[in-house]
Amino acid sequence: MSALAVWTFADTGGARWLERLLAEGIAGDVAVTDGAVVTWASGRASAQVRELQGVARMANLGSSFWGMLFGIVVSGPELAAMGGSERALDGALGGVGVDQATLVTLRRRLQAGGSALAVICDAAVASGIDTMRANADRAVTPDRCETTTRALSVDHENALRRVFAS
């Protein structure tokens, strides 16, 4: 079974640290469907999203999926405060397996001044990455890291490819 796995960090360098560990093969030969790195500098209204680098990707969902996902996470509350409906935004990705509870959790964990690394991969790969991260040298491990995982069905993954693959 596949999963959307997101590791959020309290600092902007945390996601780059995890990306470097994955690229160096510390977790073994990791292949993911796709992935992204998000950095949200303090004082900035929005986060910067880019594709995961140095890790084998089996598909390319492109920046549209990752930009939409993290745009909803970062901007949803502000848009709702301006008279929009945060709940409507939270339902926008339900058809591809990203439910409201996942978005609310990510919104709580990814804050200005922080970063995130997100992948779509086999659930066992996500678990292996999490174990590797937890066992990394404490001297260089970013202080706070939280993992959010959402199981994706075959239908969800097919919908992701159909809608977002470039």
* Whole-number pLDDT of residue 3: 93
Task: Give the pLDDT confidence of 75-126 residue by residue, as tens digits.
Answer: 866 665 665 555 667 788 999 999 999 998 999 999 999 999 999 998 888 8
* Whole-number pLDDT of residue 29: 73
Burial of 106-135, coded b for 16+ CB within 10 Å and e otherwise, reads bbebbeeebbbbbbbbbeebbeebbebbee
**Would the pTM of this model clear 0.75, i.e. be above it?**
yes
Question: How far, in Å, CA of 38 to CA of 66, rounded?
Answer: 9
* Number of domains within the chain: 1
Question: How far, in Å, CA of 127 to CA of 9, rounded?
Answer: 17
* Whole-number pLDDT of residue 109: 94
Handedness of CA 85, 103, 109, 57 (dihedral sign): negative
DSSP letter for 136, please: S
Share of the chain above pLDDT 70, in %: 86
Range of the domain at 108: 2-164
